[in-house]
């Protein structure tokens, strides 16, 4: 059994980093691709199809506090470990997008650009991205004024302006320079 694993939200300034693990069988949703190359509507449709058709899948995350405590790489690996642990059975091998093999407790094959090459990784990228987008939209309601529902926590012009205006929220990653700088800027204003 092979599981595809991918993450979403590594480059964000706020919110959790998500990971998904997917084991595909013979039935594979049509139109799988790297989640970043799909429209939000297409990702949503494929999200439902993957969940319906996959042999097994699991979605997990590491929150912003874990990102700050561990660093983004180790927090991403933690989310991947949690996703893998959520499968009904440990796979023989995990295929991971990228060039660094996380410690997952099974054989790991890294594939640079795997989220655009291997269907199981593509499926994992979609599950992770849609799940994270949904979570950050919910966090937008809890932390109004930042525009999380629009930029999903990425460092857009709008987000940077909100950080300067409001300072960081409890879900901002303080280990990321723009978030730490916003605290300094508020103190000197």
Q: What is the Cα gyration radius of the chain?
A: 17
117 close to 125: Cβ distance less than 8 angstroms: no
Annotated binding site: 6-7, 97
- pLDDT in the model for residue 55: 97
pLDDT tens string, the chain, 189 residues long: the values are 999 999 999 999 999 999 999 999 998 999 999 999 999 999 999 999 999 999 999 999 999 999 999 999 999 999 999 999 999 998 999 999 999 999 999 999 999 999 999 999 999 999 999 999 999 999 999 999 999 999 999 999 999 999 999 999 999 999 999 999 887 776 776
In angstroms, rounded to a whole number, what is the distance separating the alpha carbons of residues 33 and 39? 11
SS (H, E, C) 117-182: CCHHHHHHHHHHHHHHHHHHHHHHHHCCCCCHHHHCCCCCHHHHHHHHHHCCCCCECCCCHHHHHH
* Assigned token pair, 170: 């409890």
Annotated binding site for a divalent metal cation: 6-7, 97
In angstroms, rounded to a whole number, what is the distance separating the alpha carbons of residues 167 and 146? 10
- pLDDT in the model for residue 3: 98
Sheet-wide strand order for 17-23? 56-62, 17-23, 2-8, 93-97, 107-111
Query: Using the 8-state DSSP alphabet, how is residue 55 labeled?
Result: S
In angstroms, rounded to a whole number, what is the distance separating the alpha carbons of residues 9 and 137? 13
Report all structural domains of the chain as residue ranges with CATH numbers, in order of start.
Answer: 2-141 (3.30.420.10), 145-188 (no CATH)
* Assigned token pair, 84: 């893998």
């Amino acid at each position: 059994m092979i599981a595809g694993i991918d993450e979403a939200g590594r480059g964000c300034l706020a919110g959790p980093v998500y990971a998904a693990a997917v084991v595909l069988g013979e039935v594979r949703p049509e139109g799988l691709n790297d989640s970043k190359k799909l429209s939000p509507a297409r990702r949503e449709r494929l999200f439902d199809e993957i969940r319906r058709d996959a042999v097994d899948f699991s979605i997990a995350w590491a929150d912003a506090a874990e990102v700050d405590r561990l660093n983004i790489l180790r927090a991403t690996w933690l989310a991947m470990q949690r996703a893998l642990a959520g499968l009904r059975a440990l796979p023989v091998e995990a295929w991971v997008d990228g060039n660094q093999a996380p410690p997952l407790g099974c054989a790991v094959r890294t594939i640079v650009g795997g989220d655009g090459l291997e269907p199981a990784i593509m499926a994992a990228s979609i599950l992770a991205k849609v799940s994270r987008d949904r979570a950050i939209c919910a966090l937008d309601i809890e932390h109004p004024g930042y525009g999380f529902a629009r930029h999903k926590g990425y460092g857009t012009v709008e987000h940077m302006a909100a950080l300067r205006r409001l300072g960081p929220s409890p879900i901002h990653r303080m280990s990321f320079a723009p978030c730490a700088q916003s605290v300094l800027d508020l103190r000197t204003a």
